[in-house]
Each structure stands twice: as C-alpha cells, then as structure tokens.
C-alpha cells in the first residue's frame, strides 16, 4: 500500500477510530493519541488485512488500544485487597479519590510484592509475571504461553486472590 492510499484510508476512517477510542476513554486528547496509535499500528500490519475488511479491522485495533490503555499499570488505581470493584480510570475531567501521596509504596513493599508474584506456583507464575511485572496484555500472554485467553483470565483471577491473601497475611489482617 502506498502512502497516498494509506492517507486516503486515514481520512476515510479517522472519525470512526476516534469515536471508538473516545467512547472507551472519555477524554478527547487521549482519544486523539489512541487514534494516532491505531493508525501507526495499522500501517505496520496493512498486509495482514484484506481491503474489504479495513473498517472492522481498524475498529478492533482502536478498541484494543483503548482497552490496553485502560488496563495499563499507569491507568489502574490501587484497590484494597478483597475489593472486586472495577478500578476507576483517571481522566482530565475527574478528580482522583486519592492523592499521589496516598498511593505511595515504599521500595521494600514493591520488592516484597514482586517476590510474592515470583513465589507463585505454576500455572499462575508465568501468567502473573507477564501481567503484573512485565505489564503484558492478556492477548499477548495468551499468545506467548499458547493458552486460551479465557484460561489466562481465570489464572490471573486466581493469582490475584492468592496475592491478596498473602498481602493480608503479611499485614496481619485476616
């Protein structure tokens, strides 16, 4: 595909991609950034998609980019152990419930949590290391470990429960 053809594709689907991103992140600037990321990613993999499927393909890339951002470590909020509530996202129009000083974790606590992750037994160890320490997406983990994404979801859920229990025991709360 030539640059001129790709430019035409961008003009044709730019509003669609932006809308998909904005619907998920609810932030105009962030949606613009994710739209750009979507087209950069699409350009790198244009040969993987037949021309008649560009529209749904671009929409899927945009959705994945937005979801990856929403579940990124930077965007996730720390929730209390045992708290199964979805983390709230921080955007330009909201005030975070906690200030940065409330979310500070000492280096020794970080090392302790990393050690807890590394102490998990299989099948939870590799999934947890990739997700919590290397910040890979579930799709990436699924591909790297050759496991169905549903299996990865289940293993992460169980690993989180085990880690929550270890943290509670370490802090003396039962």
pLDDT, one tens digit per residue, over 11-66 is 999 999 999 999 988 888 989 999 999 999 888 888 888 888 899 999 999 999 99
In this prediction the pTM is 0.45
For residue 6, what pLDDT band results from cuts at 50, 70 and 90? Answer: confident
Residue 94 domain flag:
no
Q: Which residue has the tokens 């992750």?
A: 117
Whether residue 121 has pLDDT greater than 50: yes
Q: Are residues 107 and 49 in the same domain?
A: no
* Predicted local distance difference test score (pLDDT) of residue 36: 93
Residue 40 domain flag:
yes
Share of the chain above pLDDT 90, in %: 20
CATH number at residue 127: 1.10.10.10
Give the mean pLDDT of 66-75.
79
Residue 92 domain flag:
no
Give the mean pLDDT of 77-102.
43
Handedness of CA 12, 14, 17, 18 (dihedral sign): negative
* Predicted local distance difference test score (pLDDT) of residue 79: 30
Q: Are residues 57 and 115 in the same domain?
A: no
Give the mean pLDDT of 90-106.
48
Q: Are residues 63 and 106 in the same domain?
A: no
Q: Residue 167's domain spans which residues?
A: 102-171
* Predicted local distance difference test score (pLDDT) of residue 34: 92
Q: Which residue has the higher pLDDT, 165 or 97?
A: 165
Give the mean pLDDT of 94-104.
47
* Predicted local distance difference test score (pLDDT) of residue 49: 84
**What total number of domains does the chain contain?**
2
CATH number at residue 39: 1.10.1740.10
Residue 80 domain flag:
no
Examine the fold and report which residue of 29, 55, 70 is the final residue of a domain before the chain moves on.
Answer: 70
Tell me the C-alpha distance between 17 and 19, whole Å: 5
* DSSP string across 37-98: HHHHHHHHTGGGS-GGGHHHHHHHHHHHHHHHHHTSTTTPPP--TT--SPPPPP-TTS--SS
Tell me the C-alpha distance between 16 and 75, whole Å: 24
Q: Which residue has the higher pLDDT, 72 or 158?
A: 158
């Amino acid at each position: 595909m030539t640059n001129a053809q790709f430019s035409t594709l961008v003009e044709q689907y730019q509003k669609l991609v932006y809308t998909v991103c904005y619907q998920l992140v609810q932030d105009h600037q962030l949606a613009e950034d994710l739209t750009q990321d979507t087209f950069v990613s699409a350009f790198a993999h244009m040969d993987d998609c037949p021309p008649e499927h560009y529209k749904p393909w671009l929409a899927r890339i945009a959705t994945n980019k937005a979801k990856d951002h929403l579940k990124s470590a930077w965007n996730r909020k720390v929730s209390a152990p045992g708290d199964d509530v979805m983390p709230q996202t921080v955007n330009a129009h909201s005030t975070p419930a906690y200030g940065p000083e409330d979310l500070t974790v000492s280096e020794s606590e970080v090392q302790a949590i990393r050690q807890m992750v590394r102490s998990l037994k299989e099948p939870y160890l590799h999934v947890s290391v990739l997700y919590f320490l290397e910040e890979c997406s579930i799709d990436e983990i699924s591909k790297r470990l050759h496991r169905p994404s549903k299996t990865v979801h289940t293993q992460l859920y169980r690993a989180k429960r085990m880690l929550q229990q270890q943290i509670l025991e370490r802090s003396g709360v039962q």
